[in-house]
Every structure is written in C-alpha cells, then in structure tokens.
Amino acid sequence: MIKKLEIPIFHGWLYLYQGVPFAEVGTRHNIVFDNSGSDAISSSDLDKNEVTAYIIAVEDRVSASSIAHEALHVVNYMMRDRDMVPDLNNDEWQCYLLGWIVRQCHKYLKVE
C-alpha cells in the first residue's frame, strides 16, 4: 500500500508505505535506510518538483508505538527543514502536526 497525502498548513507531502520492502522505498526516494530489524522507518527527501517529501514506511505488521515514534521523527524533520525551533512552552503547532500524522497513519495503515 502506498498513500501520498498533502500536508496542511506546513506544506509538503507525506508518503505512507506498508508492506513495500524498505529497499524499494529507499530507491523511490533516493534514500538508504538502515532499518536494523525495525518494523517502521522514516525519512525526508525532495521530490522531482523540489517539494519536501516525508516518508513513513512500515512492515505488514506494525505497532502503534512504532507509528508514534516515526511520526515524531517526521515532525522533527519538518522543523529542521523549515528552520523552526521547538518551544517547550508553546508546542501547540508541534502537537497539532504530530496528531495529524498519527491520525493519517491510523487511517490508512493496518496498525496492531
């Protein structure tokens, strides 16, 4: 399963992969993954139009905790790419984005 979603407000694309070999996902996005036996991986890349693509790829069986783990990585990639600094006293935008990513994962992926 492959799903491409436009990220609201923050722009870019979220790609969700399930059951696609990690090596194939890496080839599609020109990324080398070191999955070390994990059930989920994430990364970021620029697509052919120079728009940021954020990738979460999971095995056929994936845990909810792995989804949350990778979603937070994607939030951090977005912060890095947009030169945003985390604010521990005002983290509403981070929480909104994390919630949106996790919701999309649970909507489109089969999560244990």
Q: How far apart are the first and last CA of the chain?
A: 16
pLDDT in tens, 49-64: 888 999 999 999 899 9
Residue 108: its pLDDT value, please? 96
pLDDT category, 10, cuts 50, 70, 90? confident
Does the pTM of the predicted model rise above 0.85? yes
Phi-psi region for residue 54, left (φ > 0), alpha (ψ -120 to 50) or beta?
beta
